[in-house]
Amino acid sequence: MKRKPQFGKLGKHLGKSKGKLGTSLQSVGSMRPGAIPLMLEFGVSGLKVLQLSGHNPSSISALAFMPTPDDLLDNPAKRLLFQMDALPKFLKGEKINATRGACLIPAGQMVCKHMQIIPTEGVPNEQIAAAQLSSQIGCDPGSLLVRCREVPGVRKQGKQEVICYGASREFVGRLMGALKSVKLDPVGIHNEFDGLSRAMQLRDDSAGGGKNSKPRLVLDLGTGSTKAMIMHGSSIVFARTIELGSRHFDETICHQLRCTMLEAREMRHALTELRPKQKVAVASSGLPGMPPPSEASEPQPAPGGGFGAQRGPQIDLSEPIEIMCDEISMCLRYHDALFPGTKVESVVFVGGQAKHQPLLTELARRLKLEAQSFDPLACLARSGKVPVSGLDLRAAQPGWAAIVGGALSPMDL
């Protein structure tokens, strides 16, 4: 299933941003000593706020989570407006103090594409990529802010393979305006893939400091989308956003059971099997093939709610999972074409949906990869009582990988 990459429609709803942006993110400001920066992520499931301090290891100073109202989950423009408008009151209520801030560009408001460009002396790769990207998505090159990451070791016939990250200049300005609205000096605007990359480096360092050079797939299983990234050591060699997340699973359940999205989400969380099993009745007494009296007398609960396997509709997520695996397999094939003979052998699951073990088991089985999940907050130190709101630190929090990596990134706008 191919989906044409496109920007979200937020820019049409937000109006013009205040102030002017420079020709690149690097020209907006610079890192200055002072208060510890506050990191924000305007995610689909909710607004994340994180503050770290110190190094080797970094410590959690504060973190908070504000969930998205259910009626806004399917409306990106209204959701982001709600989060930005609620940010001042939210930070004030959590008593989080900071003078500098940074944030991640939401995946739905960023285009991530692989390109082959011909490097030209005196012309930045970003300028060349912006010209190609703007022609593909049909916009003015001047309306884009673009960053490029060269894929190491892939250059054929004078063409360099690059990963191009593009976002609306107006939207980036709106993010900076949101930081300024809470009296934060903007010192960083990062993309989620770079954040995930730094989170993986944190994982490697926490595991003993050895460099992990084996190719690995990183899957960020989110609410609105899935981010697929392949790394060779600390280098990103492939990145792509797949427009399929847990919300699409919930829509499948809604269609099958004629229930609300809230009910579908609750049933999905309770699932132990993502597809129905064929039940073969074997009687312990009576005629062969007949169920025992205890099974025949009353309906049996099915995974995720509803009634027994022979009564009413069942939850079957085979179709969206198959679509997701097909999309991921395309990513792996593209990697194999770039690096013949270099196979990806493992997958690391992060993202809010990485809490759901049946989903991870099914994906790993279908992809035939050794799998692990990763809780980035477990790799950070905690000095004394940490101000926490909206989440339980006693449970794994794989959904915080991108924001933790963003908080560990250089603040050098």
DSSP state of 408: T
320 compared with 31, residue with greater pLDDT: 320
Return the pLDDT at 288.
45
What integer is the mean pLDDT of 49-61? 86
pLDDT for 260-319, tens place per residue? 999 999 999 999 988 887 644 444 444 444 445 444 444 445 444 444 444 557 899 999
What integer is the mean pLDDT of 97-115? 93
Instruction: Yes or no: say if 402 and 192 are a contact pair by the CB < 8 Å rule.
Output: yes
Is the pLDDT reported for residue 13 higher than 90? no
**pLDDT confidence tier of residue 150, bands split at 50, 70 and 90:** very high
Instruction: Yes or no: say if 231 and 216 are a contact pair by the CB < 8 Å rule.
Output: yes
88, 93, 98, 102: CA torsion to nearest 10: -50
Return the pLDDT at 294.
46
Return the pLDDT at 36.
81
DSSP for 291-318, written as a single string: PPHHHHHSPPPPTTSSS-TTSS-----H
Instruction: Yes or no: say if 316 and 302 are a contact pair by the CB < 8 Å rule.
Output: no
**pLDDT confidence tier of residue 32, bands split at 50, 70 and 90:** very low
Return the pLDDT at 374.
96
Is the pLDDT reported for residue 324 higher than 80? yes
**pLDDT confidence tier of residue 138, bands split at 50, 70 and 90:** confident
Return the pLDDT at 275.
84
Computed over every residue of the chain, the mean pLDDT equals: 84
Instruction: Yes or no: say if 6 and 137 are a contact pair by the CB < 8 Å rule.
Output: yes
Provide the whole-model pTM: 0.83
**pLDDT confidence tier of residue 8, bands split at 50, 70 and 90:** low
Is the pLDDT reported for residue 397 higher than 90? yes
Distance CA(109)–CA(173), nearest Å, equals 13
C-alpha distances (whole Å) from 398 to each of 18, 219, 222, 393 are: 35, 11, 10, 11
Percentage of the chain exceeding pLDDT 90: 64
225 is written with which tokens? 């989308």
pLDDT for 331-377, tens place per residue? 999 999 999 989 999 999 999 999 999 999 999 999 999 999 999 99
Is the pLDDT reported for residue 46 higher than 80? yes
Return the pLDDT at 54.
80
The CATH number for 14-246+321-407, chosen from 3.10.20.740, 3.30.70.1150, 3.30.420.380, 1.20.1290.10, is 3.30.420.380
pLDDT for 57-80, tens place per residue? 789 988 999 999 999 998 999 999
Distance CA(348)–CA(325), nearest Å, equals 15
**pLDDT confidence tier of residue 40, bands split at 50, 70 and 90:** very high
Return the pLDDT at 34.
40
Residue from 229, 275, 253, 272 nearest 374 by CA: 229
Range in 35-39, 127-131, 326-330, 363-367 with the lowest mean pLDDT: 35-39
Return the pLDDT at 394.
87
323 alpha carbon, distance to own chain's centre: 18
Is the pLDDT reported for residue 212 higher than 70? no
Please enumerate in sequence order all residues whose Cβ is within 8 A of that of 198, keeping only pairs 6 or more positions apart, or say none. Answer: 404, 405, 406, 408, 409
Distance CA(163)–CA(165), nearest Å, equals 7
Return the pLDDT at 35.
63
16 alpha carbon, distance to own chain's centre: 27
CB burial of 86-123 (b: ≥16 within 10 Å; e: otherwise) equals: ebeebbeebebebebbbbbbbbbbbbbbbbebeeeeee
